Amino acid sequence: MKWSLLVLLILLPPDLSAGTELSIDEAIRTGLSKNRSLQIATLAADAEWARASEADAQMLPSLSVSGSYNRLSDGAFRLSTTNLPQPIQVGNVVVDNFAVQVGVRQPLFTGFRLSSLSDAAELTAHAARGDQRMTEQDVIYAVTAAYWSLYQARKMTELSSGNVRRLEQYRQDAERLGRAGLATRNDILQIEVQLGRARITLLEAETGARVAEMRLNTTIGLPAATPVTLTSHPGNGDGAAVASTGPVEALVDSALGRRPDVLAAGLRLLAAEEMVNAASGSWWPQLEFSAHYNYSNPNQRYQPITPEFLGSWDVGITMLFEIWNWGKTGSQVEQAEAMQKSSALRKTQLAESIILEVHTSLFSFEQSLQKIEVSALAVEAARENLRGISEKYASGLATSSEIIDAEIDLFSSEVEFSAARVEYELSVAELKRAVGEHPEIAEIR
């Protein structure tokens, strides 16, 4: 019992309703267990499998039981011939009629229509499972994007807060220099204006962080107001070399061979071909076996008719062949063939879009690595520049315009560096989704 509870605690996602620390892996696991879009896709797949089971049942024998009761008007059975002057009364009408029938029906030959419908339903059910798996990939990417968007929004808040604190210090320095006659009123006002702008930026960043937190909670299926503390941090592209071990053609081949939506499109094309076969089945005669057992009072198969329960049975084969139905079967075949061609075009269109998506994702990934490298150098240079100008400004050797420009440069560089790291994480997630979790990409992080 204790081991069972331990396994459940390990496998189940953490309870985040009261607010707790959340890593990117925990966010994805929670999203996969609670995301409503994924739940809808799962239910849709379940419905398709139920429909496939229904199609299979049409090929199997069916057993039915029916019963009836009828009340007839009073009367008598009379026999009349030309040789008799008066009709002869044979018997009275049985006014209370009871009937119970047990029947078995089995299709023998339907022009392969039922088997084709069964195959089409099963293929469609498998395609629905592919849609479900693709929805899982979409949810993973959506959770990843929401997680790192919240990280970036909070990082923006942190950097904006630091910017405000430094500008407040510069204002104090400017006031001190002004009292010493080393700074003008205009110098102080310039810093005041920049400080006001920085506070507005901080307010916007705090609002953006609150909205991003609500968006993440909604994506992973938690109440929007749940407080969340992020524990994961974006990488610096340290594992990027893994992505360059294979050419882009290998990534494209992986995507076309492994992505669930591609597999689902192929299955739907096969299902459409089976639907053509099912529609063509109406060109053939239809054969059905049937057997019945009747237990009736009175039973019309026994003469003379008596008011008692008697049993009888019948066995037979029915053949139905529509010779002319005003082109109905031909129209059904044309519809099925048009749907087959449409499915083929959709598969081709999907393959073309995936090829473009893989190339675009790879370009974005490579671009994010370059951005990290350049923005890291820009932050280092901006910090060194601000340090030197701050020392000069404190001694009255630099103007307020110079310190403001240096502060803006550092703030912008830090924001760009953080955004580049987040963009790297998103490009990795996008590339994984594009190629269907290619083994060369799976271990990038």
In terms of DSSP bridges, do strands 286-297 and 310-320 run parallel, antiparallel, or are they unpaired? Answer: antiparallel
In one-letter notation, the amino acid at residue 198 is: A
In terms of DSSP bridges, do strands 228-230 and 76-79 run parallel, antiparallel, or are they unpaired? Answer: unpaired
Instruction: Quote the pLDDT of residue 307.
Output: 87
Instruction: Quote the pLDDT of residue 175.
Output: 84
Domains and CATH numbers, the chain: 16-59+109-283+328-435 (1.20.1600.10)
Q: What are phi and psi of 76, to 5 degrees?
A: -145, 150
Query: What are the CA-CA distances from residue 47 to residues 135, 202, 267, 309, 341 (Å)?
Result: 16, 50, 17, 45, 25
**What's the CA gap between 415 and 379, in Å, rounded?**
9
Q: Within its chain, how far is the Cα of 102 from the centroid?
A: 46
Q: Within its chain, how far is the Cα of 394 from the centroid?
A: 58
Q: Is the dihedral of CA 69, 73, 77, 82 positive or negative?
A: negative
Contacts of residue 368, defined as CB under 8 A and 6 or more positions apart, other chains included, come to 237, 420, 423, 424, 426, 427
Q: Is the dihedral of CA 296, 300, 306, 307 positive or negative?
A: positive
Per-residue model confidence as pLDDT tens for the chain (445 residues): 444 444 444 444 555 444 578 999 999 999 999 999 999 999 999 999 999 999 999 999 999 999 999 998 876 666 666 666 676 666 678 889 999 999 999 999 999 999 999 999 999 999 999 999 999 999 999 999 999 999 999 999 999 999 999 888 888 888 887 887 777 788 788 889 989 999 999 999 999 999 999 999 999 999 999 999 999 999 865 555 444 445 888 889 989 998 999 999 999 999 999 999 999 999 999 999 999 999 999 998 887 788 899 999 999 999 999 999 999 999 999 999 999 999 999 999 999 999 999 999 999 999 999 999 999 999 999 999 989 988 887 777 888 888 888 889 999 999 999 999 999 999 999 999 999 864 434 443 3
**What's the CA gap between 254 and 438, in Å, rounded?**
6
On whether the CB atoms of residues 198 and 171 are closer than 8 A, the answer is no
Helix orientation angle between 24-34 and 185-220, rounded to the nearest 10 degrees:
40
What is the 3-state secondary structure of the chain?
Answer: CHHHHHHHHHHCCCCCCCCEEECHHHHHHHHHHHCHHHHHHHHHHHHHHHHHHHHHHCCCCEEEEEEEEEECCCCEEEECCCCCCCCEEEEECCCEEEEEEEEEEEEEECCCHHHHHHHHHHHHHHHHHHHHHHHHHHHHHHHHHHHHHHHHHHHHHHHHHHHHHHHHHHHHHHHHHHHCCCCCHHHHHHHHHHHHHHHHHHHHHHHHHHHHHHHHHHHHCCCCCCCEEECCCCCCCCCHHHHHCCCHHHHHHHHHHHCHHHHHHHHHHHHHHHHHHHHHHHHCCEEEEEEEEEEEECCCCCCCCCCCCEEEEEEEEEEECCCCCCCHHHHHHHHHHHHHHHHHHHHHHHHHHHHHHHHHHHHHHHHHHHHHHHHHHHHHHHHHHHHHHHHHHHCCCCCHHHHHHHHHHHHHHHHHHHHHHHHHHHHHHHHHHHHCCCCCCCCCC
Six token digits for residue 145: 């994007």
Which has the closest alpha carbon to 151: 220, 229, 204, 223? 229
Contacts of residue 95, defined as CB under 8 A and 6 or more positions apart, other chains included, come to 71, 72, 73, 74
Q: Tokens 């499998």 correspond to what residue?
A: 49
Instruction: Quote the pLDDT of residue 88.
Output: 66
Q: Which residues pair with 287 in a beta bridge?
A: 109, 319
